[in-house]
Amino acid sequence: MMNDGDRAREEFFSEAQEIVEGLGRDLLALDEGQKSGHIDPDLIKEVFRAVHTIKGLAGLFGATRMATLSHDLESMLDDLRLGKIDLTPNVLDVLFASVQLYGRILQAEKEGRDQPMPEFDKLIAQLNRDSAQHGVTSGGPMIDPSLLAVLTEFEEHRLRTNISQGNTLYWLRVRFQVATIDQGLEELKATAKPHGEIITYLPAGVGDDIDFLGLDILMASRATSETLRAALAHLSVEVEELPRVSGSAAAPVSMPPPQAHVPPTPAPPPVSASASRPTPIPPVHVPHVDLDLTGAHLPYAPRIEPRIEIMPPGIQSAKAQELGTIKSVAQTVRVDIQKLDDLMTYVGELSIVRTELEQEIAKMRDGQASREDRSKLRRLQRDFLRNVDKLRDGILKVRMVPLSQVFDKLQRIARQISREAGKQVNPVITGKETEVDKLTIEELSDPLMHMMRNAIDHGIELPKDREAANKPVVGTIAINAFQKGNHVVIEIEDDGQGIDTDRLLEKAIAKGVVTQEEARTMSRREILNLIFVPGLSTKATVSEISGRGVGMDVVKTNISKLGGVIDVQSEPGINTKFTVTLPITQAIINALIVKVADQQFAIPLANVQDVGQLDSESVRIIDGREAVTWRGSATLQLCNLARLFGLAKPQEPDANAGAFDAPSLSSPEFSTPRLPPLRSDSLRHDATSAFPYRPARNSPVPIQSSSGRRKKRNYVVVISIGARRLGLVVDHLVRPQNVVIKGLGPSLKNVAGFTGATQLADQRIALVLDAASLIEEMFAHKGAALAHGGPHGF
Amino acid sequence: MPMMPAAGAAKRGKNHDRGPLTKYLAFRLADDIYGAPLSLIREILERKPLTPVPRAHPSIMGIISNRGQLITVIDLRRRLHLAERPETNKARILTTNPMGIELLGLYVDEVLQTYDLADNEIEPTTTAFGGEVAGYISGIVRPASVEGPSANRVGKRVAAAKQVARVIILLDLKIILAT
Amino acid sequence: MARILVVEDSSAFRAFIRAALEGSPELFDAAAEDVEVVEASSGFDALRLLPRGHFDLVITDINMPDINGLELVRFMRENERYRTVCTILISTQSSEKDRARGLALGANAFLGKPFTVEALHQAITASIGPSKVDCSKAQSMASSEGSQ
């Protein structure tokens, strides 16, 4: 249960996160504008508003650092939007740094950590250095006070700027139906934008018809009134040109004439008691209560000197902190109402099915069921299943968010890293609209960021080296995303120097990952895959940027956790391309339910390569590990789950209870996700009590049944990640089934081998096995290979 | 709706200025009576099928599902190194989230009753035990000094009268669950 | 009965204001269930909600995209229909001009961001006034228009 405070806080994180992300996007656009010399004032306004909102939020929720940063930024942006300072690359740097810092502060707030942030202190100090007072513009053209009265300071500034640039002012008059005003307005904005700048919107008095609204729009444009009229003709906009004003010329910029359908309105009331109100109430100014002790609300307040704090050991090292994260802290997804409407529809249909089912069941109880009723029941069951499927797919859709959420951040980071590294990089992104599950996006953010870092640091060469190699000075990093069946593919490709396979192999031999012998027979692809082995980075020196303790091995592990695979291709001197393939959603997966001892486990089918019976007599011990020759050829290492998990032997020696014959993976039962009818025998109540307490741990389970009466048949489920395979020995196969995965809480985060749990019928829970970590664990010993398994591509 | 014991009825009779009262839930672990602030207990659950998590910490009994939510259940007896008793149908799971991080289930042998306690009725551990005690004990109460339990009883009136403890040990759930 | 329109593009701010208002029905001399807070996320949203909303009080941010808070107040002041509705403007302290203009346009109070619940309550009490003449007037007007 969330209380109001939690909810408001959750809302705070969600909104702050969203604003910060939008801010990043706007900055990228500003950066473009700054380079091309056309800075869109609307963007500056957007950025100012965003920071302004964050400041307000931070003040509300007591996020002091955020408030301080926003306050100082706001002062700078205020000067920027009012034209007191120019948008220089330096200013942009500060803005980009701020966006990153916001992300970190949010992360720290969310986790309730209060740690020193040297980068925060640095940026604040810099902002305060930069905030020298600037001269305030004054004078300029005369503006009708009644118009001035409704302009915000910024709008006034924009108006004056446009006048001083010699642009013509127009009043655009338009009438909208209140219900559809948003669409109408968007269309108008899009049409008008290429011709100039909209300064402000004045809603004109409604007449008797409250469903319509008149708008007077003040616009500044270089275009002639004919051009503007023609452009806006299809939107039935009246265009009226204002007489030109120059300097403090005679004709002031004035209010539009009253709209025809509105009786003339009295002038706005003067400052004192207003005649238009029956009871004069003096305006009150409520003193603002200062909540913040840093002086954040006092412009240019003296700042407390940054304290130097010594980090206690064991707390995050400064380095780890620097590593940063671009994970989002928001736990919410904003949903298109249409998607929810669809869900409601399915629920509605299900309710109807339910009612009819009840009637049918009542008939059966009374013994009046006819043949007709039976076919009706079958129809109801079909309807029911169809709607449950739709509901499931609909809910999955709701969880989907576009990859742009991560890609925008990547673009920002690319800019920053390349500047730090003194390299020139142009990130090119396609397919950012591709959608994946919200959870996947979160877990994907950091691995992608590290890949981006690697591409810039190890891939793209310094400008002088590129020139020497006859390459364009500006390197390209292409990030492409597209959907492929039930998977999303993300490619990160750079046109840099490629991976030096000779050096990689050298290192691998030096570290004992592969033998000289194996090295001779390895294909190029196998060598390239060594990049995913811990500790095999190609750079001898740890660079400022990538040398942050995160190698490709970690990236690979994280991607495997998402049920994904990563592959690498590279041509020396030409390119390096990493390809990540991920299932679209983590929330519902197809899994194979198995039984080990009396406990059920779920193995994600995405990781299952093969299933078969195990003849316990064929198990050999190789290198101290159990293995079998699988399907007559390859050696397969086994992992006896009962022993690994210390589970007691199943009580009954009946090996086939609840099991079906090992299915071939191509059978429709595996390929199409559908729920086979429940088998009563697989859901038998265990004889154990409600709290099966097992003090006996690690009691070894002999491979062969000691009774010797009958050979015990076990099953092997072969799981694979990349080129590694492992045979999980289980007692029974129960059924393939769609399961909804739920994460395990923080209390269990140290337990290896499980990605989560899922609820089966009858309140029972099956733990979902983490194929990646089990393989990791079983291969974790020396050499990571079986005696004659050949080089493993990892 | 959570099945919570109703708030205590108005205090009866001679309320001779005991100061502000806090509600504590008393429960049995092995042979001793323990208490925790009622405000921290979200729900008291009946026994449910429990799925052990292999290779988890020994004090983690496993996970249960409560209305679709998975909850890790902690065996307080093991956490506090107490003797274990065979499970009876009086066993309950208290759900609590004292750290605001995760809703956890606490396995207890039996839930007894609630007590209204004033601050001055709680003896600090130092005076009570005179020496080093575990940090998770926030104080002790001698029920005799309390003006009787609040009117409501949780569950049936067990032989609680017979087993009115000499002391109730108050636990600091935050400290216990933070480890 | 008290009906309040909150115009603000930040949803967290709206949530905060809503909680501050719903938690203190005594400000409006109303029972808790009679305090109705309606949220608008933009000036246009507000214009859409105003005609049939019969609001007693409108709390609006100044800096919003498209229609700013000042324009909204002016629009209300110039319309017979909304002239007597109390208005409170919220904005940052930083813009002295915005504040002065807002009060000049006839807003009943101005509140600097970020503000405390107490400050908001003060502003409401000050703008509604002890007599509540305005709001009761607005209400009687609303009810005299009868059902639409």
pLDDT given at position A609: 85
Of A74, A271, A274, the CB nearest to C94: A74
Of C19, C70, C84, the CB nearest to A152: C70
Mean pLDDT of chain B: 77
Q: How far is A438 from chain C (nearest CA, A)?
A: 21
pLDDT at C38 exceeding the cut of 60: yes
Residue type for A308, please? I
Cis check: omega of the bond before A118, within 30 degrees of 0:
no
Least confident of A318-327, A583-592, B131-140, C95-104: A318-327
Band of pLDDT at residue B148, cut at 50, 70 and 90: very low
Six token digits for residue A55: 């400041």
Contacts of C107 in chain A (CB under 8 A): 283
Contacts of A274 in chain C (CB under 8 A): 77, 106
A687–chain C Cβ distance below 8 A for any pair: no
pLDDT given at position A265: 36
CA separation, residue A752 to residues A129, A641, A776, A777, B38 (Å): 50, 13, 10, 9, 34
Band of pLDDT at residue A637, cut at 50, 70 and 90: very high
pLDDT at C148 exceeding the cut of 50: no
More confident residue, A504 or A180: A504
Cβ(A180)–Cβ(A187) under 8 Å?
A: no
Q: For residue C16, which phi and psi values (nearest 5 degrees)?
A: -65, -45
Element (H, E) at A175: strand A168-177
pLDDT digits (tens, 9 = 90+) for A355-387: 788 888 888 777 777 888 878 888 888 888 888
Band of pLDDT at residue B71, cut at 50, 70 and 90: very high
**How many whole angstroms separate alpha carbon A229 and alpha carbon A691?**
79
DSSP states of A666-729:
TSHHHHS---PPPPGGGGPPPSS-SS------S----SS-TT-SSPPPEEEEEEEETTEEEEEE
Instruction: Sort A739 into a burial class: Cβ within 10 Å, 0-12 / 13-18 / 19+.
Output: buried
Q: Tell me the residues of B at the A interface, defined by beta carbons under 8 Å apart.
A: 42, 47-58, 60-61, 63-65, 68-72, 74, 87, 91, 101-104, 107
**How many whole angstroms separate alpha carbon A702 and alpha carbon A723?**
29
Least confident of A330-344, A507-521, A624-638, A772-786: A772-786
Six token digits for residue A470: 């006859």
A762–chain B Cβ distance below 8 A for any pair: yes
pLDDT at A207 exceeding the cut of 50: yes
Residues 6+ apart with CB under 8 A from B64: A763, A765, B45, B48, B49, B50, B51, B70, B71, B73, B93, B105
More confident residue, A518 or B94: B94
pLDDT given at position A252: 58
**How many whole angstroms separate alpha carbon B177 and alpha carbon B64?**
18
Band of pLDDT at residue A322, cut at 50, 70 and 90: very low
Cβ(A200)–Cβ(A151) under 8 Å?
A: yes
Determine the straight-line distance between the first and last CA of chain A, rounded to whole angstroms.
44
Instruction: Sort A393 into a burial class: Cβ within 10 Å, 0-12 / 13-18 / 19+.
Output: middle
pLDDT given at position A257: 62
Q: Do chains A and B touch (3 or more CB pairs under 8 A)?
A: yes
Any bridge partners for residue C2, and if so which? C35
**How many whole angstroms separate alpha carbon A98 and alpha carbon A73?**
8
Beta strands C35-40 and C86-92 are unpaired
**How many whole angstroms separate alpha carbon C136 and alpha carbon C2?**
9
**How many whole angstroms separate alpha carbon C73 and alpha carbon C60?**
9
Residues 6+ apart with CB under 8 A from A611: A592, A662, A663, A665, A715, A716, A717, A718, A733
C22–chain A Cβ distance below 8 A for any pair: no
Cβ(A218)–Cβ(A197) under 8 Å?
A: no
Q: Looking at residues A248-264, what average pLDDT do you find?
A: 52
pLDDT given at position C105: 84
C67–chain A Cβ distance below 8 A for any pair: yes
pLDDT given at position B164: 56
Beta strands A575-583 and A599-604 are unpaired
More confident residue, B157 or A628: A628
Least confident of A113-117, A195-199, A246-250, A697-701: A697-701
Cβ(A538)–Cβ(A504) under 8 Å?
A: yes
Cβ <8 Å between A150 and C111:
no
pLDDT at A301 exceeding the cut of 50: no
Eight-state DSSP code of residue A253: B
**How many whole angstroms separate alpha carbon A215 and alpha carbon A647?**
74
Residues 6+ apart with CB under 8 A from A583: A440, A486, A487, A488, A562, A563, A564, A589, A606
pLDDT given at position A550: 58
pLDDT digits (tens, 9 = 90+) for A702-719: 344 344 445 567 899 999
In our burial notation (b when 16+ CB lie closer than 10 A, e otherwise), range C57-96 reads: bbbbbbbbebbbbbbbbbbbbbbebbbbbbbbbbbbbbbe
Residue type for A342, please? D
Residue type for A532, please? F
Any bridge partners for residue A172, and if so which? A217, A239
More confident residue, A281 or A721: A721
pLDDT given at position A259: 55
Least confident of A110-114, A225-229, A624-628, A716-720: A110-114
A754–chain B Cβ distance below 8 A for any pair: yes
pLDDT given at position A468: 92
Residues 6+ apart with CB under 8 A from B127: none
Q: Is A551 helix (H, G, I), strand (E, B) or coil?
A: coil
Which residue, among A228, A248, A251, has the nearest Cα to A240 in the 3D structure? A228
pLDDT given at position B110: 92
pLDDT digits (tens, 9 = 90+) for A646-689: 887 644 444 443 334 444 333 333 333 333 333 333 323 332 33
A278–chain C Cβ distance below 8 A for any pair: yes
Of A646, A693, A747, the CB nearest to B104: A747
Alpha helices by DSSP H, listed for A62-164, are 64-81, 89-111, 118-130, 145-148, 153-164
pLDDT at A113 exceeding the cut of 90: no
**How many whole angstroms separate alpha carbon C89 and alpha carbon C8?**
10
Scan for tokens 């040109």, then name that residue: A241
pLDDT given at position A333: 67
Cβ(A87)–Cβ(A79) under 8 Å?
A: no
Residue type for B43, please? E
Scan for tokens 């032997």, then name that residue: A649
Least confident of A240-254, B34-48, B137-151: A240-254
Cβ(B116)–Cβ(B8) under 8 Å?
A: yes
pLDDT given at position A504: 86
pLDDT given at position B93: 95
Band of pLDDT at residue A594, cut at 50, 70 and 90: very high
Mean pLDDT of chain A: 72
**How many whole angstroms separate alpha carbon A104 and alpha carbon A146?**
45
**How many whole angstroms separate alpha carbon C65 and alpha carbon C49?**
17
- Could you tell me which chain A residue has the CA closest to the CA of B92? A691
Q: Looking at residues C112-129, what average pLDDT do you find?
A: 80
Q: Looking at residues A32-49, what average pLDDT do you find?
A: 82
More confident residue, A403 or C96: A403
Cβ(A483)–Cβ(A434) under 8 Å?
A: yes
pLDDT digits (tens, 9 = 90+) for A483-508: 877 778 999 999 999 888 888 888 88
Residue type for A568, please? V
Six token digits for residue A420: 């730090």
pLDDT given at position A731: 92
Scan for tokens 């910029």, then name that residue: A253
Beta strands A635-640 and A625-629 are antiparallel
All partners of chain B with 3 or more CB pairs under 8 angstroms: A
pLDDT given at position C52: 79
Q: Looking at residues A603-623, what average pLDDT do you find?
A: 85
Cβ <8 Å between C104 and A53:
no
More confident residue, A705 or A756: A756
**How many whole angstroms separate alpha carbon A698 and alpha carbon A645?**
7
A36–chain B Cβ distance below 8 A for any pair: no
What is the percent of chain A where pLDDT is above 90? 9
Which residue, among A720, A714, A718, has the nearest Cα to A733 in the 3D structure? A714
pLDDT at C130 exceeding the cut of 90: no
pLDDT at C67 exceeding the cut of 60: yes
pLDDT given at position A442: 81
Band of pLDDT at residue B25, cut at 50, 70 and 90: very high
pLDDT digits (tens, 9 = 90+) for A530-569: 888 877 754 543 443 444 445 788 888 788 777 778 889 9
